[in-house]
Amino acid sequence: MTGPGWPAWGAGARPWVLLDRDGTLNHECHYLNDPAALELLPGVLSALARLQARGVGLAVVTNQSGIARGLITSAQLDAIHERLTNWLRQAGVELAGIYVCPHGPADHCACRKPAPGLARQAARDWGIDLSRAWVVGDKRADLELATAVGARGVLVRTGYGRETEQTLGASRPVDWTVVEHLEGAADAILAALDIPGQATPGPAQPRST
C-alpha cells in the first residue's frame, strides 16, 4: 500500500531506504548478543533484492542500547553485523552501511532514534536527500525518525509493529504507512517509484569528502 502525498522522484534523484534491524530484518530477540541467534524474517532477502534491483540505496539504522547496558559487547555486535552482511551478500544484496547508536535512553545522545543523528550521518556519507527517502521499522521511534528528517515512514507489522500500530490508533499521521512486512514495504516503495521513463540509478557509491 502506498502512502498519501508521496511525490515523484526528480530526474537523477536516487531513492534510499533506511531500515531498522530487529523486528524488521530479523526476528525480534531481546538484546541479541549471539550471532548464531540471528534469524532473518521471511521475505526479507527477496524484498531487499527487489529494491536494490531498482537502484534503491539501502542502509541500516539501529538502536543497540544493550552495549550501554552491558548486555552485549562491541565485538559481539560486530560479529552479528558481519553475519547479517554476509547473509545479505550471498543473496546479492549490499548494504551501504550499518549505523549504530550504542547509547541508552538516559544518555540523551543525538543518535538514538528518533533523534536524527544516524540518518543524518548516512546522508552525509552517501549524499542522501532525506526528503526523498523512506524509514522502515516496527517501532514508533522509526516513524518519528522519518518525521524528524523529512522522510516517509513505513511501519511493518512484524516485530513490535502490531503493538505499535495499536498504540498509535487514530493519532497516526497520514504520511505514516502501515504494511504487513518488509515485502509489503518494498511493494509500496516500488509502486511509488514506478514512473514511466525514469532512469534507474546505478550502484550506490559513497560521497567523497
Q: Is 78 a catalytic residue?
A: no
Residue 199 lies in a domain: no
Residue 149 lies in a domain: yes
pTM of the model: 0.88
Q: 20, 138, 175, 187: which is the annotated catalytic residue?
A: 20
Domain that holds residue 172: 21-193
Instruction: Tell me the C-alpha distance between 48 and 53, whole Å.
Output: 9
Instruction: Tell me the C-alpha distance between 133 and 151, whole Å.
Output: 5
Q: 22, 34, 129, 142: which is the annotated catalytic residue?
A: 22
* Residue 89 neighbours by CB under 8 Å, 6+ apart: none
Q: Work out the burial of residue 134: count CB atoms within 10 Å of its CB; fewer than 13 is exposed, 13-18 middle, 19 or more buried.
A: buried
Structure confidence at residue 206 (pLDDT): 59
Strands (E), the chain: 16-19, 57-63, 98-101, 133-137, 152-156, 176-179
Q: Which three cell numbers stand for residue 108?
A: 540523551
Q: Is 22 a catalytic residue?
A: yes
Instruction: Tell me the C-alpha distance between 76 and 78, whole Å.
Output: 5
Residue 84 lies in a domain: yes
For the chain (209 residues), the mean pLDDT of every run of 10, in chain order, is 40 83 95 95 97 96 96 96 96 97 96 98 96 96 96 97 91 85 96 59 49
Structure confidence at residue 194 (pLDDT): 78
What CATH number is given to the structural domain containing 47?
Answer: 3.40.50.1000
